[in-house]
Chain A
Amino acid sequence: MRYQASKLLLTTFLVGALAACAPAPAAPAAPTAPPAEPTPTAAPAEPTPTAAPAEPTPTTAPAAPAMSGKIKIATQSPLSGPQAALGTGIRNGADLGLQDMGKMLTDMGFEVELAPFDDQAKPEVGAANAKNIASDPDILCIVGHLNSGVALASLPTYKDNSLAMVSPANTNPKITESGYQNAFRVVGRDDVQGAVGEEFARTEMKIKSVYIIHDKTDYGQGVAEFFRQQAEKNGIQVLGFEGTEEKSNFESILTPIQAANPDLIYFGGIYDQAGPMFRQARDRGITAQFLGPDGLDSPELLKLAGDAVKGMYYTSVAAPVSQFPDAAKFAEDYKAKFNEDAPPFSAQAYDAMGICIRAIAQAAEKAGGKPSREQVVQAIRDAGEYKGITGAYTFNAKGDPVTSTYFVLQVSDKDGEPGEVWNANAVVKKLDIPAP
């Protein structure tokens, strides 16, 4: 037996050495090779569709569909596991986007399709999916991810294959700070958001001391750290900085807060943790004000926290629906199609999809056929402002929107069904801040 095993290994390596030389593949190029039928005369008179993509203007549609082929746009987000609610929202938002705006491409003669992938919020699953996406030459653009960790694991593959990634949710500065030419996002950045929150707390809420809590994720801790840096720099007294993965029982965290008696509790994290925590804090008689980032932007917060969050402030990188009439329509459509309220980032996914579609359409026009992935990346870079349902986006060299709008919102103190109350949240402050 032992002999056989050694023989196995030895043979394996010998054969390996031989085989390595033998089937040297004759350069089967990476599947970025462009179009099947290049139609040289297909340059339409009208240049680029600059109209709002929610209603694609038929002017761009060529008289006869001169181009053909299939174009897929992928989404990557967690569809299973604890974060499935947000991840499914991204997929659904993109799905709705394709349904509404895909006409731009189908009118040109392409078949369009959504290719949803489940990254399970795990970096290595995201990386494997990225390879899968890269190997499908029909996929020209990606809407994703939810988790910055997964995006950072997938980006090397996207980069190797010049695939454009338009992120609807990754606010981590590292996404665009790592030198990836193909990474874009339609949201602001955590570093700015933390600073916006701090400034609002200092100047408008007039707080003198803060107790910072975060959820020990790259997102929550990241934004909390930026808040702390600014707070310390500007003379707010930071009474505590704690991280916790606890999801339901916050007593032991609240006890030191009660003793420290801060003016403000800043929570860096997501609503599912914030909701129970804020409610338990109020139940205990803690009177500090609450503040948090866009992770709190969900009617679920109201559902979970009840009266405790009425009137509280939160910062956001995403426009509330009241700011954009189109977003309201989106929310309705979403509810109609998927039978639930649109979760955070789904509207951004809709816009990310819109950016992908417009870029592909422009690249296709330029290339006179199905564009290559490089052309799509270039088209996203070159295209001017995109007016979406959540804002207008022009990308800078890093892939951030040149200026992002940051909002400070206040939770409405109306009574009623959480979804409706949430829609009545008022924008207290609106800041256009250039990306750092």
Chain B
Amino acid sequence: MAIAADALPAPASRRTLRMTLAGVFGPLGQVFIFVVGSAIVLSVITVLVAFLLRGTRTNVDLVQATLTILPQVIVDGLVRGFLFATIALGYTMVYGVLEFINFAHGEIFMVGAFSGAALGTVLAASGMLNAIPPLLFVLIAVIVGMLVSGMLAMTIERVAYRPLRNAPRLVPLISAIGVSLLLQDGMRLIANVTGLGFNARFPTPNFGPPLQLAQIPAADGRTIPLILDVRALIFIVAATLMLIGLNYLVNATKLGTAIRAVAQDRPTASLMGINVNQIIALTFLIGGALGGAAGVLFGIRVGTVNPYIGFLPGLKAFTAAVLGGIGNIPGAMVGGIVLGFLEAFVASYLSLLTGGAFSGASYADIVAFAILILILIFRPSGLLGEAVAQKV
């Protein structure tokens, strides 16, 4: 319930613009500090390990090799982290209000990606795709994805979760697992019937060549470009906007107050004249829309979608949300990015540092879970979460 833990709002009348701004943009500073901090810490550790292990390899200068790709690994990690962060926002939204893990959130993300792909396919078929400015296309696709996923999430809540709201906590969770499986195969069916195909292409306008941020000299005299894809940049910007928007919505609007009230105490909120069901439905709408937007942005970036792309990122995003302190909006962002860094570092460096004994790309997948376990043992409230006593 950490949404509510951000100092209860003063009555709106006494609220000044400055406070609102601080409330909305303040978390950005927090996110920034964590991003820079974790990047530095991880880089230092990696270089240190490379330095210690440099004697084990004769053919490569480990430290040099490590340093050469370091900037790119950080950029990769950042991009990867924003993916987890945007999905984690949706998890955290719903968890903050209902204390319920929407297991199907990864599939909502996937459906968003598919609706964007469908839009792209239709536009491509009509030959209009390259006539549209890329940014406009992104905007339209994101809106479509948000609408579809938001409505879907709301429907799921109405059908599969609301009837179970008073049941033991295990019950809606299992229902959510069911929804997750149903959506995977449902989408597969739709994709097959509509001709999108199991592995659907996400056609986009041409975004041009990636940005070359720098040229890094390598050991053999070559220079390696430091690259940031335009689509990844769009992703990062959009994710930041989503964070700001969500933060504003929750902390500075009447709806946000109602959401926090419901999160804090449902019966009391109901007594205060808040329509609890409506607020919960809206929470799902918002969470789903965020997931849909993330799905579309992800689809644009990687160019392909399939019905199973949502599951693992969904789990990792949950880990990210827990890492940052579940229910805490900036926390989801921080958790996602830290996790992204970790995965990128492991994926890119483990093989190099162990001389190929351990394949980094394979072990990156379990880093998330190892982190999850560690964080839950040592700091169950997450990086940004306050220590909230377990409700008994």
Asked if chains A and B are in direct contact (CB within 8 A), the reply is yes
Asked if A252 meets B199 with Cβ closer than 8 Å, knowing A242-B359, A275-B304, A285-B227, the reply is no
Chain B positions within 8 Å of A213 at CB level? 361
Taken together as a complex, chains A and B put the C-alpha atoms of A160 and B359 apart, in Å, by: 39
Q: Does B303 contact A (CB under 8 A)?
A: yes
Q: Say yes or no: B69 contacts A255, CB within 8 Å.
A: yes
Interface bits A198-231 vs B (CB < 8 Å: 1, else 0): 0000000000000001001000000000000000
Q: How many A-B residue pairs have CB under 8 A?
A: 114
Taken together as a complex, chains A and B put the C-alpha atoms of A258 and B365 apart, in Å, by: 21
Residue of A nearest to B220 (CB): A261
Asked if A252 meets B356 with Cβ closer than 8 Å, knowing A279-B303, A304-B304, the reply is no
Taken together as a complex, chains A and B put the C-alpha atoms of A242 and B197 apart, in Å, by: 29
Q: Which residues, 235 to 257 on A, are CB-close (under 8 Å) to B?
A: 240-249, 251-253, 255-256
Q: Say yes or no: A303 contacts B352, CB within 8 Å.
A: no
Q: Say yes or no: B302 contacts A285, CB within 8 Å.
A: no
Q: Does A283 contact B (CB under 8 A)?
A: yes
* Residue from the list A242, A255, A275 in contact with B72, Cβ < 8 A: A255
Q: Does A259 contact B (CB under 8 A)?
A: yes
* Residue from the list B220, B304, B360 in contact with A276, Cβ < 8 A: B304
Chain B positions within 8 Å of A240 at CB level? 351, 356
Q: Say yes or no: A252 contacts B351, CB within 8 Å.
A: no
Residue of B nearest to A213 (CB): B361
Q: Does A272 contact B (CB under 8 A)?
A: yes
Q: Say yes or no: B356 contacts A251, CB within 8 Å.
A: no
Q: Which residues, 256 to 288 on A, are CB-close (under 8 Å) to B?
A: 256, 258-259, 261, 272, 275-276, 279-280, 283-285
Q: Say yes or no: B362 contacts A245, CB within 8 Å.
A: yes
Chain A positions within 8 Å of B79 at CB level? 251
Asked if A256 meets B309 with Cβ closer than 8 Å, knowing A243-B359, A280-B302, A283-B229, the reply is no
Q: Say yes or no: B201 contacts A252, CB within 8 Å.
A: no
Residue of B nearest to A253 (CB): B361
Q: Say yes or no: A285 contacts B225, CB within 8 Å.
A: yes
Asked if A251 meets B309 with Cβ closer than 8 Å, knowing A242-B359, A258-B224, the reply is no
Q: Does A300 contact B (CB under 8 A)?
A: yes
* Residue from the list B209, B218, B302, B303 in contact with A259, Cβ < 8 A: B218
Residue of B nearest to A339 (CB): B195
From residue A89, how far is it (CB to closest CB) to chain B in Å? 12
Chain A positions within 8 Å of B224 at CB level? 258-259, 261
Q: Does A85 contact B (CB under 8 A)?
A: yes
Taken together as a complex, chains A and B put the C-alpha atoms of A248 and B304 apart, in Å, by: 7
Chain A positions within 8 Å of B305 at CB level? 248
Query: Which stretch of B3-11, B27-35, B137-145, B340-348 is in the interface?
Result: B340-348
Residue of A241, A243, A253, A275 ringed by the most chain B CB atoms within 10 A: A253
Q: Say yes or no: B227 contacts A284, CB within 8 Å.
A: yes
What is the interface size of chain B, counting residues whose CB is below 8 A from a CB of the partner?
Answer: 46
* Residue from the list A252, A259, A276, A303 in contact with B65, Cβ < 8 A: A259
Asked if A276 meets B303 with Cβ closer than 8 Å, knowing A252-B344, A285-B210, the reply is yes
Q: Say yes or no: A259 contacts B361, CB within 8 Å.
A: no
Q: Does B180 contact A (CB under 8 A)?
A: no
Taken together as a complex, chains A and B put the C-alpha atoms of A304 and B299 apart, in Å, by: 12
Q: Say yes or no: B304 contacts A252, CB within 8 Å.
A: no
Q: Say yes or no: B362 contacts A216, CB within 8 Å.
A: yes
Q: Does A84 contact B (CB under 8 A)?
A: yes
Residue of A nearest to B307 (CB): A82
From residue A139, how far is it (CB to closest CB) to chain B in Å? 29
Q: Which residues, 371 to 425 on A, are CB-close (under 8 Å) to B?
A: none
Q: Say yes or no: A303 contacts B201, CB within 8 Å.
A: yes
Q: Which residues, 333 to 383 on B, are CB-close (under 8 Å) to A?
A: 343-344, 347-348, 351-352, 356, 359-362, 364-365
Q: Say yes or no: B302 contacts A249, CB within 8 Å.
A: yes
Chain B positions within 8 Å of A279 at CB level? 303
Taken together as a complex, chains A and B put the C-alpha atoms of A240 and B348 apart, in Å, by: 11
Chain B positions within 8 Å of A272 at CB level? 199, 306
From residue B204, how far is it (CB to closest CB) to chain A in Å? 11
Q: Does B222 contact A (CB under 8 A)?
A: yes
Interface bits B41-79 vs A (CB < 8 Å: 1, else 0): 000000000000000000000000100110011001101
Q: Does B80 contact A (CB under 8 A)?
A: yes
Q: Say yes or no: A246 contacts B361, CB within 8 Å.
A: yes
| Chain A to chain B contacts (Cβ below 8 Å), 20 pairs | A84-B188, A84-B198, A240-B351, A241-B356, A246-B365, A247-B306, A248-B306, A248-B309, A251-B76, A252-B344, A252-B348, A252-B360, A255-B69, A256-B69, A258-B224, A272-B199, A280-B303, A283-B229, A284-B227, A300-B197
List 7 A-B pairs, minimum CB-CB distance, nearest first: A252-B347, A244-B361, A248-B302, A251-B76, A259-B69, A242-B361, A276-B304
> 19 additional contacts, CB 8 Å, given A252-B364, A300-B197?
A245-B365, A249-B298, A251-B76, A252-B73, A252-B360, A255-B69, A256-B351, A259-B65, A259-B72, A259-B224, A261-B220, A275-B199, A276-B302, A283-B210, A284-B227, A303-B199, A303-B201, A304-B303, A304-B304
